[in-house]
Chains A and B, each alone.
Chain A
Amino acid sequence: MSELIKKTAAELVALMAKGEVSSVEVTQAHIDQINKVGDAVHSFLFTSADSALATAKEVDRRRAAGEKLPTLAGLPIAVKDNLATTDAPTTAGSKILEGWISPYDATVVTKLRNELMPILGKTNLDEFAMGSSTEFSAYGPSKNPWDLTRIPGGSGGGSSSVVASFQAPLAIGSDTGGSIRFPGAVTGTVGTKPTYGAVSRYGLIALASSLDQIGPVARNVLDAAYLQDVIAGHDPYDSTSLTQSLGSMVEAAKSGSVKGKKFGLIKQLAGEGFQQGVKNRFAEAIQLITEAGGEIVEVDCPSFDYAIDAYYLILPAEASSNLAKFDSVRFGMRVTPEGNPTIEKVMAATRELGFGPEVKRRIILGTYALSAGSFDKFYGAALKVRTLIQRDFDNAFSKADILISPTAPTTAFKFGEKVADPLAMYLNDIATIPANLAGIPGMSIPIGLADEDNLPVGIQFLAPNYQDAKLYEVGAALEGILEGIWGKRMIDFAPNLEVK
């Protein structure tokens, strides 16, 4: 395995800046790794080696000419396939969009292009980001590089596995209820869901508009900070994007410290019903934080007990409307039934064949939740719970600077284990969902391996709205402490992928 791909994004950027390595070399090293492990891990739905190398060459040319380049210029990246790109198909993991090429780039993609980052390809996801395992991708699941018989998390299992298997130093994810943080936890990587509105959603194929947020996927906190600084910022094309700057995440990560900060241990997410190995690592992390000068306080968030219920009404309601546009009229798949069908029949046949089971389940659920007679009972009630959860967070943050919990109740589970039981699958997100309902930022970082299965465990940090920088401060600090103890990085514990 090339030494280059083992390096962090920050290290690669420094090497390129010094001229010790070219962008073409860095990019080619990752393409080689994709060629080697790509089929086994199945992270990508589409790879674009040629255009990535072309960008790399351009960066090398400009650097040789002495031009001032953006910070991450020349550093390759992978993009989740629910972001619109003009030079690669965008499927959102669904058959209904197979082969569709967007006529416009998502704002985040434009920012990556402006940063001169070679885009290696589009990563796998559960269909329209509905799932926690990538098993609902219409194009087959991605695998967890720690154990290929296990799930890499979802919906962003493509992005987490790509980073965990060194096919890219960085990736873009999207998080509606944990789709960046849960995959991060189960693959031993770092993922951040920024404050709602911190990153433009323009060009992100919407799952639930009021919950969706794009964020960075990386192997360590500093790398994630670099990426968030590139993709964040106001976008006039997204009315919900924040107008104020949240500051530099890189600076926050570099000045990382837990000393003197109050960490709120969420009573409802303290580990009851969680896997023992998860609880053990979490307890150790708390211990380390205390030793480093952080103070632990318990906070009570009683409404969290209803978070999943509210989430699975609000999300399907919005999704049922967002997915209505997939009707075969203007783009994407069209199925024309026999005979002389009406437009209604064409739309129905297309959606019947084009959507997978989880998508249909949620469309039906959401349509029902919004219908007359159900609205107050379901959607309306869910909005009330949402308000209560926001209130819980307000109370909690009056007592603590940062809230902590395990990112997920378990480590990576095996394929097929939960796919037939939607409720069991939905429970994976029990710790991550409240942040989306409240709009606040959250981050998952690895804190070791569970005793039972030697698989990665993650801790989740949550901060008040607009205070993403706090996540990077404490994330980087705890990561530093852990790496000091381990003598290496979390990802270095991953078994070498044995690929024929």
Chain B
Amino acid sequence: MAKANLMDYEKALELFEVVIGLEVHVELNTKTKMFCGCRNDFGDEPNTNVCPVCIGLPGSLPVVNRKAVESSIAIGLAIGCKIEANGGFSRKNYFYPDLAKNYQTSQFKDPIAYDGQLEVEVPSGNKFTVQIERAHMEEDAGKLTHIGGATGRIQGAEYSLVDYNRAGVPLVEIVTRPILGAGSEAPELAAAYVRSIREIVKALNVSEARMERGNVRCDANVSLRPKGQEKLGTRTETKNVNSLRSIERAVRYEIQRQAQILADGGSIIQETRHWHEDKGSTSSGRPKSDADDYRYFPEPDLVPVQPSIELIEKLRSELPENPAAKRKRLAGEWGFAEMEFRDVVNAGLMDFIEEAVAEGAKPQAARKWYSGEIARIANSEDKDVSEMNITPAQVAELARLVESGKINDRIAREVLSAVLAGEGNPDEIVTSRNLEVVSDDGALIAAIDEALAKQPDVLEKIREGKLQAAGAVIGAVMQAMKGQADAARVRELVLERANRA
């Protein structure tokens, strides 16, 4: 396929107004699937987390997962939606081998949440309010693997394998209204919006929210209209863009591609498109018209979903702080440099630091440990910081031990390794390994005297103002104390001694 001609981005924006629309699928982290008791864990051996319901055997019937409904309501509330008091499920009918029943049990006319809005800030600091049309519950399909083709796509494949472990996994699909007025920042806004959704569902603890694992997936709709035109242009829908950076790139690519076609007098085909991370481009998928006929009708096997006011208000009262507001608050409270704070957020360390601070650590000390030594070790072991065997309380304790002078930085690193190895809390390790720094001046003075006896010229040099000469004595003393001394104190004592003599 020839690479499409792309219009220069600035020029495209001169000629056209960009309209985007985003559909974000959030996979819920419930223990069981949406309509049956199977484990919601599709990484297992294929077709092991399945039952008559999720593989659609004759006679089987769905039962709604209460927890999934609660999670969906929580998401709806967190994005400012109204909650439907008398909703229900519908069947979306289409044949596809990954869809066990050949209909998807979804919501159509009465989604669980509707009419919301979310304020999103893009990197320039500009803020946009994204209007949310609806958030509805549905089940995921199975996973197809196409074998024998060159591209891994169905075209050209010899045969395909289906894994139904994913069939019936609960999803919430959040759909925006058309987003206008973002101008040249439309790609950044798309990414920032998805990032906000991701942060919200993570803060709610209703999803693992890992984009690389497909827990959060985005379909990006893009259309252009000549400036001044009222009518919306024909849109394309780029499916399953699975990183924030890719969303931004895909939207930008579609703007440039569509602009060139329109400028050349062509027209946009309403279709789905695939995003190619490696090439940085999209390619044509299948035609998609508004007349796609899914023959929706109310799911007769399920009763209406009627959450009580009490339940909705309980969930509302349990909502965590909005992640964007929380970031702003913590940035103010901690007083980090802008760059430091951004690094902490990008590395996903904010929550750990927040907990460590709550346990009594100073913010800078907590930041230093998390973004320094702990992140380094995690990285070398190819782990996430969350997988490291240390609690924020232990980090706070470690920081306190250093601050009080009981241990120095070098020893603190040793203590950290011991904590990670499971030897216990920092203070226990300091005691059991006898790591506390020697703060008894008598012992230190004795060691200094011994070192000076071996290097008699040092005191003379110090008196002459060559203070760096003290280094040799300090080094010898630290060696004699096996490192368990406060080097600053040793230096003080050496200088005192020189001045007195």
Contacts and interface: CB of A to CB of B under 8 A. Distances in A.
A325 B100 contact: yes
B457 interface: no
Interface in B37-67: 52, 55-64
Contact of A324 (B55, B60, B95, B297): B95
Given A84-B59, A102-B59, A343-B97, A209 B102 contact: no
A344 B160 CA distance: 13
A240 B58 contact: no
A202 B62 CA distance: 9
A324 B58 contact: no
29 contacts: A103-B52, A103-B57, A104-B52, A202-B61, A203-B59, A203-B60, A205-B58, A205-B59, A208-B300, A236-B63, A239-B62, A239-B63, A239-B64, A239-B301, A240-B300, A240-B301, A240-B303, A324-B103, A325-B58, A325-B100, A325-B102, A326-B58, A329-B162, A330-B55, A330-B56, A370-B93, A372-B291, A372-B293, A379-B297
Contacts of A203: 59-60
Given A103-B52, A202-B61, A331-B58, A324 B102 contact: yes
Interface string B272-315: 00000000000000000001010111001111000000000000
Given A324-B93, A325-B102, A237 B293 contact: no
Given A202-B61, A321-B91, A209 B55 contact: no
Interface string B69-106: 00000000000000000000001010101001111000
Contacts of B302: 239-240
A92 interface: yes
B303 A239 contact: yes
B-side interface mostly: loop
Contacts of B97: 327, 329, 343
A132 B25 CA distance: 46
Contacts of B56: 325, 330
A206 interface: yes
B95 A321 contact: no
A317 interface: yes
Nearest to B160: A343
Contacts of B91: 321
Nearest to B63: A239
A97 to B, nearest CB: 7
A367 B59 contact: no
A103 to B, nearest CB: 7
Interface of B: 52, 55-64, 91, 93, 95, 97, 100-103, 160, 162, 291, 293, 295-297, 300-303
B58 A344 contact: no
A350 to B, nearest CB: 12
A482 B100 CA distance: 52
Given A318-B300, A324-B103, A370-B297, A97 B291 contact: no
A114 to B, nearest CB: 18
Contacts of A405: none
A325 B62 contact: no
A204 interface: yes
A157 B293 CA distance: 37
A8 interface: no
Contacts of A240: 61, 300-303
A331 B93 CA distance: 19
Contacts of A103: 52, 57
A205 B233 CA distance: 47
A321 B293 contact: no
Most-contacted residue by chain A among B55, B61, B97, B296 (CB, 10 A)? B61
A102 B51 CA distance: 12
Contacts of A289: none
A270 to B, nearest CB: 32
Contact of B300 (A100, A209, A325): A209
Interface of A: 82-84, 90, 92, 97, 100, 102-104, 106, 201-206, 208-210, 236-240, 317-318, 320-321, 324-327, 329-331, 343-344, 347, 367, 370-372, 375, 379
Contacts of A204: 59
Contacts of A321: 91, 93, 103, 295, 297
A202 B60 contact: yes
B124 to A, nearest CB: 43
A202 B295 CA distance: 25
Chain A at the B interface: mostly helix, strand, loop or mixed? loop
A331 B301 CA distance: 21
Q: Which of B60, B93, B101, B162 has the most CB of A within 10 A?
A: B60
Most chain B CB within 10 A, of A104, A203, A324, is at: A324
Contacts of B300: 208-210, 240, 318
A320 B103 CA distance: 11
A239 B103 CA distance: 18
Given A371-B293, A379-B297, A327 B102 contact: yes
Contacts of A379: 297
Contacts of A325: 56, 58, 100-102
Nearest to B301: A209
A69 to B, nearest CB: 28
A90 B58 contact: yes
Given A325-B101, A344-B95, 16 more contacts: A82-B59, A84-B57, A84-B59, A90-B59, A100-B58, A102-B57, A103-B52, A206-B59, A238-B63, A240-B300, A321-B103, A321-B295, A324-B95, A347-B95, A367-B295, A370-B93
A209 B62 CA distance: 12
Contacts of B293: 371-372
A82 B59 CA distance: 8
A240 B300 CA distance: 9
B61 A324 contact: no
B271 to A, nearest CB: 19
A371 B97 CA distance: 22
Nearest to A326: B58
B59 A83 contact: yes
B131 to A, nearest CB: 26
A367 B296 CA distance: 11
Contacts of B61: 201-202, 237-240
Contacts of B296: 370
A330 B303 CA distance: 27
Contacts of B103: 321, 324
A106 B57 CA distance: 12
Nearest to A128: B58
B95 A104 contact: no
A157 to B, nearest CB: 21
A237 B59 contact: no
Interface centre among B91, B300, B302 (most CB of A within 10 A): B300
Nearest to A236: B63
A18 B97 CA distance: 56
B334 to A, nearest CB: 49
Contacts of B303: 239-240
B243 to A, nearest CB: 31
B265 to A, nearest CB: 32
A164 B52 CA distance: 35
A317 B297 contact: yes
Contact of A237 (B63, B93, B102): B63
B274 to A, nearest CB: 20
**7 smallest A-B Cβ distances: which pairs?**
A324-B102, A370-B295, A209-B300, A210-B300, A203-B59, A84-B59, A205-B58
A343 B160 CA distance: 9
A466 B406 CA distance: 77
With most chain B CB atoms within 10 A of its CB, the pick from A90, A202, A238, A326 is A202
Contact of B59 (A106, A327, A375): A106
A102 B55 CA distance: 12
A215 B160 CA distance: 42
Nearest to B292: A372
Nearest to A340: B158
A341 to B, nearest CB: 11
B212 to A, nearest CB: 29
| Most chain A CB within a 10 A radius of its CB, from B59, B64, B102, B291 | B59
Contacts of A372: 291, 293, 295
